Amino acid sequence: MSTDLTRLDASELASKIHSREVSSVEATQAHIDRIGQVDGELNAFLHVAGEQALVAAKEADSAIAAGDKPVSALAGVPIALKDIFATTDMPTTCASKILEDWVSPYDATLTTKLREAGIPILGKTNMDEFAMGSSTENSAYGPTRNPWDTTRIPGGSGGGSAAALASYQAPLAIGTDTGGSIRQPAAVTATVGTKPTYGTVSRFGLVACASSLDQGGPCGRTVLDTALLHEVIAGYDPRDSTSVDEPVRPVVEAARQGASGDLKGVRVGVVKELRSDSYQPGVIASFDAAVEQLTALGAEVVEVSCPNFEYALASYYLILPSEVSSNLARFDAMRYGLRVDDGDMSAEQVMAATRAAGFGKEVKRRIMIGTYALSAGYYDAYYGSALKVRTLIARDFDAAYEKADVLVSPTSPFTPWKLGEKVDDPLAMYLSDLCTLPTNLAGHCAMSVPSGVSVDDGLPVGLQIMAPALADERLYRVGAAYEAARGPIASPVS
């Protein structure tokens, strides 16, 4: 029974739990057992909270047995949580030595929403340190491995959540997306991930990387599962100053509508600048096949141009490090986290020694870049110019959405590369975000849905679907229609 339960989609598992065909305890235990079987090799989890998850599962079962209506559509279905959201009952480390074993005194709003929805939290997943990276190799606790090929990366920064889904250790997961950290791991593991519109999922209790870019979001193995989770975690939060006071978008309804397979009247824009001869040939072939499929479903496909996307990478890698430089100043060894002190050091020496020991190489690199970009004499030339480019990119999106309802591109220019292959070449690593980061700069929403495997190497490829701010339901309609037409993709693991 355990193996069967781990292979069910979250929506199927929820139906069985709510009808009392199986219990949440059985489903949760099955996934805990699965973690024990496979995670020693994959390293998707930094912390497994088996006891807490089973307590939550028992509570969900008790409520259902009492005849109460399930508190959410996913009540009783377990989940994996990226280790960047604050939790009071397990560590929140952001995969950094500087927060090793730190336990938050409060829950993130998203954590609270999961608990209130009756969703047992299996544990915290591995990531690039403070969400800085595209491969989950920057974790202080070792890299996560891709279930499709354990010699390869699972994407980043949310590779732990994506690998947990792809290896059936969890039916649902939570990630964050600053420049593609939900979508790129989804693409290279053949899972589904959505970056919601900025401000529609609370960032309260989400440890900040770049505050104007970070966005928590849902991850699943199907578009419907991802939509169900999206509706659980979305909503206005007065504790988050960037939260948007708007109703939650009807993404579940849109996913169910899309599954019927009809996209007549939907205009799909292919972004000219998000396609290049430098992309892996198998990625382009998979993308072209996906566009043909959308056309066959009745969508009107047009080409759109977003000329300022050419400068998105440069803009992003000035804005993000600048915000990182500011946000990570709070890790000063004075109030919480790691403290390196031989007893005869000044406060400044303690801070310097702690940061030297506690931060990894990529985090230090971005702090230095950001501090330089914000320094006197360089602010306008670098950070100020990057903000102007950000505005131009948003205008490009506005013009494109006058011609199309959604935009599409490959999610990543490449399939997953070998572990260690790009660790010493930061620019090569950054190029994996080419297609995803424009959406973050504009604050819009986007999704990655599997588009099959590359003819080059048999590894997963993702189709990115983008939509304007507060039009998240468009992603789910198009994504579900494409998913239904595409058909199932072979599992990477036994």
Hey, is 68 helix, strand or coil?
coil
Q: Tell me, what DSSP letter sits at residue 301?
A: E
Please provide residue 6's backbone torsions phi and psi, each rounded to the nearest 5 degrees.
-75, -20
Hey, is 119 helix, strand or coil?
coil
Count other C-beta atoms under 10 Å from residue 488's C-beta.
7
Instruction: Classify the C-alpha dihedral 244-246-247-248 as positive or negative.
Output: negative
Q: Tell me, what DSSP letter sits at residue 384?
A: I
> What whole-number distance in Å separates Cα of residue 302 and Cα of residue 287?
15
Count other C-beta atoms under 10 Å from residue 68's C-beta.
11
> What whole-number distance in Å separates Cα of residue 228 and Cα of residue 171?
12
Count other C-beta atoms under 10 Å from residue 150's C-beta.
17
> What whole-number distance in Å separates Cα of residue 247 and Cα of residue 228?
15
Q: How many CA atoms lie within 13 A of 99 on its CB side?
A: 22
Encoded tokens for 286: 């998979």
Question: Cis ω on the peptide bond leading into residue 409 (within 30° of 0)?
Answer: no
Only one residue has tokens 């310097």, namely 352
Catalytic residue annotation = 82, 157, 181
> What whole-number distance in Å separates Cα of residue 90 and Cα of residue 111?
12
Q: In residues, how long is the chain?
A: 494
Distance from the Cα of residue 174 to its chain's centroid? 7
CA 478, 441, 361: angle at the middle one, nearest 5?
115
Q: Tell me, what DSSP letter sits at residue 169?
A: S
Question: Cis ω on the peptide bond leading into residue 62 (within 30° of 0)?
Answer: no
> What whole-number distance in Å separates Cα of residue 390 and Cα of residue 11?
38
Only one residue has tokens 């990655």, namely 448
E strands present in 221-286: 267-271
Compute CA distances 370 → 114, 123, 237, 388, 428, whole Å: 34, 32, 29, 17, 19
Instruction: Classify the C-alpha dihedral 78-83-85-89 as positive or negative.
Output: positive
Count other C-beta atoms under 10 Å from residue 1's C-beta.
10
